[in-house]
Amino acid sequence: MLRTRFAPSPTGYLHIGGVRTALFCWLFAKAGGGKFILRIDDTDWRRNVDEALHPILDGLRWLGIDWDEGPEVGGPLGPYFQSQRAEKYKAAAEKLLQAGLAYRDYATAEELQAERKAAEAEKRSFVYSRKWMAETPKDQARFEAEGRSAVVRLKMPREGKLVIDDLVRGPVEFDWAQEQDHVIQRADGSCLYHLASVVDDHDMQISHVIRAEEHLSNTPRQVFIGQSLGYELPKYAHLPFVAEPGSRNKLSKRKLAKYLGNRDFAQLLDHGRQIAQRIGLDADPETFNPVVVDFYRQVGYLPEAIVNYLALLGWSWDDKTEHFTRRELVERFSLDRINKAPGSFDPKKLQAFQERHMLEVPIEQKMKMVLPFLEKAGLLDAVDHDRLESMLSQILEICGDRIKLSGDILLYADFFFVADDALAYDEKAFEKRLRKPAEAAGLLTKLKDRLAAAEPFDAPSLERLLHEFTEIEGIKIGQIIHALRVAVTGKAFGPGMFDCLAVLGKESCLKRIDRALFINRDTGLAEGIM
């Protein structure tokens, strides 16, 4: 059976590139009627971060990249944490030792460094001399009598070539003489990733190893381990890395400051930070970072949009189709359509996918998506909960495509959910639209009286009312509508003005206008101005 695996290390939050790899593994398995296995490669206990495991699991689940076997799911070939499989690796290392395909090496770090420097001075490639290799029990006893401790190294071939038929890159050739005698077991008995990964892939019956191209250089030693242990080798496919915006360099979550020089990336992050600020979310660059998948979940992106975008970051169906449902991706995905060149992370294009997918979401689903953001921001306390559903439906309807992310409800429509006497006014907008124009307060006072008598209080009727008012007063609509918007919403921009008035209702609108006029009479920055 076709079986793929994604094997992240719990050393940090899930990188966009890692998610793309997981997605391709998942798509390939589903397209071939196989299984997708999630394995946690936590052999390096010094770098593991327990808190990072759940964001990895939660991030994959959020994206719909579910696993058939693995953590919290189980399966017949577990355990699925390398930290729980140590005895299997030790047994494999011992088998390699017994077969003479690995050896105990007693060299010190200083002795190895001296050999490297000598090779450098002679302008030749470094190849370990195996001077401190214990070939017999007598050698082992002699070295240990000197107080030395041993690691276990692979006894790699020193001649010939290895050719791998990579399913993405085609035939790839390696010269065995260039391969080092890699360490597979530390002096403390713990085994390293390369041995553990090969053993696990065999035990878990992985048929296809699909991973980032940075692992291509690891393949010869892993092939050697697998062949030496008598395993049937999986097929390999190495994916091009995800590149920085507008660059061919690899995208890294540690280069946030550098990426801020890209306008689209900076706007993406700023947008997210505005939402984060409203819900009291810590915007720590280590975790709140557009290179980390959790960023998108926290600010309200659609997982379908992220999946659609990432699928096209290195893969294509043809030269024109970009919009895919998950089912269509599964039906069409194949490794032979993966590009060999790196795909550049494009924040603007990602945003375009988000906006396109958001337009397809029905109002009922959007309501469920935005409610958690309103709750986190504490904006539901002042709302009549009997009216909440119909009110929220109306708000989303009039906001239309302004709500590009679920979190945008806090940036464009928060004023609907605050008490009339707690509405905060944007300082610049208040100064420009209410304080500065000499006629603004007087016109707003007159308009308020007409609004108080308005029946019905709906958008079409209110629009007619305002146009009649401007004709009677002999003014342009811009002389009053901006002041009205700031008075009732606190903002200089937002959904259609008449829709806002109708949703807020007459009583709230009148109270807010009164409050704005009261604040306007104050000569300083009064309470409520922000």
DSSP state, residue 83: G
* Residue 258 in tokens: 């550098």
Mapped onto helix, strand or coil, the DSSP state of residue 246 is coil
Largest Cα span, the chain: 109
Q: Where are the alpha helices (DSSP H) in 229-323?
A: 256-259, 263-278, 294-299, 303-311
The CA distance from 240 to 337, in Å, is 12
The answer to whether the beta carbons of residues 134 and 145 sit under 8 Å apart is no
Which residues are 3's β-sheet partners? 35
Which residues are 315's β-sheet partners? 338
For residue 163, the surrounding DSSP H or E stretch is: strand 161-166
Q: What is the 3-state secondary structure (H, E, C) of 340-372?
A: CCCEECCHHHHHHHHHHHHHCCCHHHHHHHHHH
DSSP state, residue 435: I
The CA distance from 432 to 423, in Å, is 18
Give the residue numbers annotated as catalytic, written as ranges: 253
The answer to whether the beta carbons of residues 80 and 123 sit under 8 Å apart is no
The CA distance from 185 to 194, in Å, is 10
Q: Which residues contact 380 (CB under 8 A, 6 or more apart)?
A: 374, 388, 417
**Other CB atoms within 10 A of residue 19 CB:** 25
